[in-house]
Structure 1
Amino acid sequence: MSCLILISEFGELIRGIHMIFSIFWWSITFVVIFIIRPANTTGNLSIVLPKIRKVVIFASTVSIISGLIQFGMLFNFNIPSFINSAGSILIVISGFFSLIVYYHILFVTHRGLPSPKPKILAGIVSAKIIPYLMFGLLSATMVSMIIVSSFAFL
């Protein structure tokens, strides 16, 4: 009985950590893309961006790790119960979106060099569109996770 209470409290802790750090990751990304980047026309704010990037890497790492733990706890680490659930595809897609954004954050190069992207996208996607695309993927992840969690914990 006491073991079940501890698991339940641990699940609530993981759920809270995941929610807080996911919202923190999204809000910092919002501020950087829509406030700092347009205001940085002279380059004066470029000193702040590497420090913000370190905070974003920490927040996104905690969010992804806690999301994976929460994902396992939600389905009791049982693959057949995951496959038979209604929100499993949405969880996988939104997790994939957040991993794309996480990959982009980790491997953005410094000193004005371009970020790594597949050769196929080189002519299609402009470098100015990529931050907005990453923010869109992160926003889609947040919305889908809210939808899944509202149905999973009713």
Structure 2
Amino acid sequence: MQQSLSRPLNAEDEVDTVVSGDTSNNTFTSDATVSELFVLNGGQDILKLIQNSSGETLVDYVSDFKVTEDKLDLSEFLDSNHVNSSNIQDYLGVSYDADLKTNTVSVRTDLNGNSKDILVLTNQSEYLSVQDLLINQAVMY
């Protein structure tokens, strides 16, 4: 019987495309039709996640997200007419996998709907909460 090894997720094995930035402040826009790995490479970057016309998206990955520097633009998923800082935790979630060293971001478009994973932050040494995103102004909606 083989034992499962505890190792960080290799996102390159999970995606169709790798998109790399440079040390400048970059703005990236995801492609809802393919799963992408974003390598931000420093700077104060913004990643805008988008949906296709039917409201679907494939899960994307970020290898080097820093909550104190980078931002996630989730405006296509979170309706600012309904979502605000006092209820965002009803619509946005983050789960941590210590073995894979990932934080998975999920959204719920309405309170009656199921949540769906939209982004995996890899190479994360600790749990990143929704509150952490808010305090650091790292989420846009």
TM-score when normalising by structure 1: 0.22
Structure exhibiting the larger radius of gyration computed from Cα positions: 1
Greater fraction of residues in strand: 2
Greater fraction of residues in helix: 1
Work out which structure has the larger RCO, using CA pairs closer than 8 Å and 6 or more positions apart in sequence.
1
